[in-house]
A and B are shown apart, each in its own frame.
Chain A
């Protein structure tokens, strides 16, 4: 049996992982700067208006710094999950589609009267 050929780049130097790492670091810096900025502003406001500041306001400030919504959504925890993969192939059975393989959505699409965010239509790579 012929030896496998590797197409992967040097282990640990994957450019995608490195790029995601850079974006993550950038994301943390942005969050840190936004948090610090919000805290400074909150402290300044509290200082300017003694007697009208609330510790809770400062405590929740970091969330509001990154929780602004341009689509009217309440911020919350992310639940995104890429699809799982079988990792195997099997010979075709009888030409019929595999039972229950394609998973329906948890909720069906609903009518909405709004300019769409995106258009789904025909295309191909």
Chain B
């Protein structure tokens, strides 16, 4: 069962088929709440109002506070590779509105890149549920809020109707409750909009979440440059495109998303880092070579000790 939300397609599947409509309604409620709290494309969102507070401490909703805490936690645990203060950098690169409205081509950018001010400048006070964002700092919760929405929705739906639940929001997939016998079948593809029957690989997931990040989608051209939406906070530029697609499984969709996004920023060192974090992952280079680490199912065919397959992995282009 699918619906449009957060600029992408939302999917919910349940093992208790009689409760599908209830699951759909609960998902809609959860996604509307996250959109209202966290969207940088809605002038009436809380995060937008927060930006307008110009450094004044603001008491926020529990949901936005959780989203900010999750974003800062992801930033901390990725060494700042995923940073919620990249908002101005993303805008400077031309991604200043819902992606459907972003011009796919345009003149060369005339403003310099804007490195992220740093997530540690966002002050959260759980005692008063207040947040202080320095003046001029624009938040972009896109990396983690959608994954948080998937985790929250799956948890709420499973808690309400019982059984097993899968929630997919574009590339972010969260499962909760008792999975089907073989587990939930999750397809992997460069673009989350790929038809299910055309997924490159399919894996069974029983717990937590899976997230994928790609440098080959949500891309646009300015002058002779191709820019994608994953920003390196240190430079304010689109992250180096060493990886075409990174998919990660973790105990939650938020953790999977933080790791997959960070892997794009980390570049070649992502393999070692993901292995050290014991996060099952599949990384696809632009030349088609695939690396699987930490227990992600190996690719069919000959493999090196790193399970790095030779080109021939049929990655959609």
Kindly state the separation between the CA atoms of A125 and B295 in the bound complex, as whole angstroms: 29
Known A7-B60, A69-B15, A113-B202: A79·B178 in contact at CB below 8 Å: yes
**Contact partner, B252, options A16, A73, A83, Cβ 8 Å:** A83
Enumerate chain A residues within 8 angstroms of B289, measured Cβ to Cβ. none
Kindly state the separation between the CA atoms of A96 and B273 in the bound complex, as whole angstroms: 10
**Contact partner, A120, options B15, B210, B218, Cβ 8 Å:** B210
Using a CB-CB cutoff of 8 Å, which residues 29-80 of chain B contact chain A? 29-30, 32-33, 36, 39, 46, 49-50, 53, 56-61, 63-66, 69-70, 72-73, 76-80
Cβ-defined contact, B180 with A72, below 8 A: yes
Enumerate chain A residues within 8 angstroms of B145, measured Cβ to Cβ. 125
Cβ-defined contact, B160 with A24, below 8 A: yes
Q: Is B25 close to A, CB under 8 A? A: yes
Interface residue ranges, A against B (CB under 8 Å): 1-9, 14-16, 19-20, 23-24, 26-27, 30, 34, 65-83, 85-92, 95-98, 100-125
Kindly state the separation between the CA atoms of A80 and B152 in the bound complex, as whole angstroms: 9
**Contact partner, A122, options B159, B218, B250, B277, Cβ 8 Å:** B218
Enumerate chain B residues within 8 angstroms of A82, measured Cβ to Cβ. 66, 148, 151-152, 155-156
Known A80-B176, A89-B124: A103·B250 in contact at CB below 8 Å: yes
Known A115-B197, A117-B185: A102·B259 in contact at CB below 8 Å: yes
Kindly state the separation between the CA atoms of A108 and B297 in the bound complex, as whole angstroms: 8
User: Could you say which of A3, A85, A114, A122 has the most chain B C-beta atoms within 10 Å of its C-beta?
Assistant: A122
User: Could you say which of A3, A78, A81, A114 has the most chain B C-beta atoms within 10 Å of its C-beta?
Assistant: A78
Binds A, one of B107-115, B166-174, B303-311: B166-174
Question: Nearest B residue to A34 by beta-carbon distance?
Answer: B18
A100 to chain B, nearest CB (A): 8
Q: Is the interface of B mostly helix, strand, loop or mixed?
A: mixed
**Contact partner, B124, options A87, A110, A117, Cβ 8 Å:** A87
Cβ-defined contact, A2 with B60, below 8 A: no
Enumerate chain B residues within 8 angstroms of A89, measured Cβ to Cβ. 72, 76, 119-120, 122-124
Kindly state the separation between the CA atoms of A1 and B70 in the bound complex, as whole angstroms: 26
- 1/0 contact string of B138-166 vs chain A (CB within 8 Å): 00011101101001101111111111111
**Contact partner, B16, options A66, A110, A111, A114, Cβ 8 Å:** A66
**Contact partner, B185, options A73, A78, A115, A124, Cβ 8 Å:** A115
A117 to chain B, nearest CB (A): 5
Enumerate chain A residues within 8 angstroms of B22, measured Cβ to Cβ. 23, 26-27, 30
Kindly state the separation between the CA atoms of A84 and B110 in the bound complex, as whole angstroms: 42
B183 to chain A, nearest CB (A): 7
Cβ-defined contact, A71 with B171, below 8 A: no
A39 to chain B, nearest CB (A): 16
Kindly state the separation between the CA atoms of A68 and B14 in the bound complex, as whole angstroms: 10
Cβ-defined contact, B57 with A2, below 8 A: yes
Kindly state the separation between the CA atoms of A47 and B211 in the bound complex, as whole angstroms: 54
Known A86-B73, A102-B250: A124·B294 in contact at CB below 8 Å: no
Cβ-defined contact, B212 with A104, below 8 A: no
Known A66-B19, A103-B250: A125·B146 in contact at CB below 8 Å: yes
